[in-house]
Amino acid sequence: MPERGLNVLLDQNIPREVVAWLKKKRPAWTVTHTSVLGLEGSTDVEIFRWAQAHKYAVITYDEDFADARFFPLGSHHGIIRLRVWPTTVEETLAALNRLLEQVPARELPGSLIIVDAGKIRLRKRPKAKP
């Protein structure tokens, strides 16, 4: 069964080189960077609003995106928070590679996923009530 496409927005703090790598790893996905969209220098809220309006999951280093008080589960199309240090291209790609190997793509939309050096935590969007 072919992988379903996912829209992914890389936050302004993620190296631009990640776009090409992620497109190669997941060709069915639409991957873009805030710099391509003219969102450089935008606030988290502005980036979040753009992502939600266009149905994109956000990949970021920014811990604010993992704060459910501001970005509650069920209000977004997915947030992947990378807790890597240093925030080099190599560390970022290693974290994303672990994510892609360990978490099925169907789990990404609507979830909050925190990827750090030792583990991956996944909080799913609440199920809709019948």
Does 2 reside within a domain?
Answer: no
Does 12 reside within a domain?
Answer: yes
Task: Give the integer Cα–Cα distance in Å for 82 and 54.
Answer: 22
Task: Give the integer Cα–Cα distance in Å for 75 and 53.
Answer: 11
Domain of residue 41: give its range: 7-123
Tokens describing residue 18: 């990640």
Q: What mean pLDDT value characterizes the chain?
A: 91
Instruction: Please state the three-class secondary structure of the chain as a single string.
Output: CCCCCCEEEECCCCCCHHHHHHHHHCCCCEEEECCCCCCCCCCHHHHHHHHHHCCCEEEECCHHHHCCCCCCCCCCCCEEEEECCCCCHHHHHHHHHHHHHHCCHHHCCCCEEEEECCCEEEECCCCCCC
Does 23 reside within a domain?
Answer: yes
What pTM does this model have? 0.91
Does 106 reside within a domain?
Answer: yes
Number of domains in the chain: 1
Q: What does the angle CA 24 – CA 27 – CA 28 come to, to the nearest 5 degrees?
A: 160
pLDDT-derived band at 130 (thresholds 50, 70, 90) equals: low
Does 97 reside within a domain?
Answer: yes
Does 115 reside within a domain?
Answer: yes
Does 68 reside within a domain?
Answer: yes
Higher pLDDT, 130 or 67: 67
